[in-house]
């Protein structure tokens, strides 16, 4: 699908993705008051939000209420932005699948219900990659790897880098200069020597600045 720019394009994309997830009769609802339902099928209802910041709990409550008494229908929410913590907690308690859709329309599961829906989607006419491996990796990234990486970056990696970036720059440019000299001297003419020349020039130009910043900082610290 082309880049999503309008609410209508977002709704059409949601209908397409729902059909891929196994809701074969998913269609965009007719224009006009829809009671909070943007896409419907015989087995699921969905709401789509294009912009406007994080989706809150009240948005999911509106979708839940719009379903009425027919609790057999699955509930899905598609958003271009993220979801607040209360919204995710509410969705988990009420089995609402939360998705974020990227500008080109691809989906990222944002809670366990959505990840399960992706894994349980139709398997016909799909490769092993698109049927199993890619949804599994997406779910693992969304639910485990990304939150872990963000926590590590915030608590450990960024403070470590922020405190030592001057020393890291000195080491990187000095090592680059040494590596560049080695490649230029010993490599045969060709792409490798061109790479070594570029590496040497970049490192030599930046190394004095890196050393100056590092030594000036050490001098102020002492």
97 forms beta bridges with: 76
Among residues 83, 102, 122, the one where a domain terminates is 122
CA distances from 159 to 132, 148, 218 (A): 37, 16, 18
Question: Which residues does 43 contact at the CB level (< 8 Å), separation at least 6?
Answer: 23, 72, 73, 74
Domain membership flag for residue 141: no
**In total, how many domains does the chain have?**
2
Residue 100 CB contacts under 8 Å (≥ 6 apart), including other chains: 78, 79, 80, 81, 82, 107, 108, 110
Domain of residue 215, residue span: 152-221
Rounded mean pLDDT of the chain?
86
Q: Note whether 69 and 156 are same-domain residues.
A: no
Query: Looking at the DSSP assignment, which residues form a beta bridge with residue 107?
Result: 101
Residue 187 lies in a domain: yes
pLDDT in tens, 82-125: 899 999 999 999 999 999 998 888 899 999 999 988 887 654 44
Same domain membership, residue 113 and residue 158 = no
Q: Whole-model pTM above 0.95?
A: no
State the alpha helices, DSSP H only, in 95-190: 112-119, 128, 134-140, 146-152, 158-186
Residues 118 and 156 in one domain: no
Give residue 127's pLDDT: 58
Task: Give the pLDDT of residue 122.
Answer: 57
Last residue of a domain, one of 101, 122, 143: 122
Domain containing residue 19: CATH number: 3.40.1350.10
Is residue 145, in this structure, part of any structural domain at all?
no
Nearest to 79 by CA among 108, 45, 37, 58: 108
End-to-end CA distance of the chain: 59
- What per-residue confidence (pLDDT) applies to 222? 65
102 shares a domain with 162: no
Do 106 and 15 fall within a single domain?
yes
Question: Which of 6-10, 143-147, 180-184, 202-206 shows the lowest mean pLDDT across its residues?
Answer: 143-147
Alpha-carbon torsion, ordered 123, 125, 129, 131, to 10 deg: -20
pLDDT score at 135:
77
CA–CA separation, 82 and 56 (whole Å): 9
């Amino acid at each position: 699908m082309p880049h999503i720019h309008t609410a209508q394009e977002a709704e059409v994309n949601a209908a397409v993705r729902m059909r891929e997830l196994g809701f074969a009769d998913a269609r965009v609802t007719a224009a006009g008051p829809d009671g909070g339902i943007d896409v419907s099928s015989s087995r699921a209802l969905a709401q789509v939000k294009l912009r406007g910041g994080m989706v809150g709990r009240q948005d999911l409550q509106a979708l839940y209420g719009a379903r009425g008494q027919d609790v057999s229908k699955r509930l899905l929410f598609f958003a271009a932005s993220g979801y607040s913590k209360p919204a995710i907690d509410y969705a988990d308690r009420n089995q609402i699948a939360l998705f974020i859709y990227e500008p080109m329309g691809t989906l990222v599961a944002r809670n366990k219900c959505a990840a399960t829906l992706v894994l349980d989607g139709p398997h016909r006419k799909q490769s092993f990659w698109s049927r199993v491996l890619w949804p599994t990796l997406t779910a693992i990234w969304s639910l485990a790897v990304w939150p872990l990486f963000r926590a590590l970056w915030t608590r450990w990696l960024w403070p470590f880098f922020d405190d030592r970036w001057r020393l890291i720059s000195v080491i990187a440019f000095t090592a680059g200069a040494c590596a560049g000299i080695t490649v230029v001297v010993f490599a045969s003419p060709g792409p490798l020597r061109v790479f070594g020349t570029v590496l040497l020039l970049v490192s030599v130009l930046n190394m004095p600045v890196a050393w100056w910043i590092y030594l000036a900082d050490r001098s102020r610290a002492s």
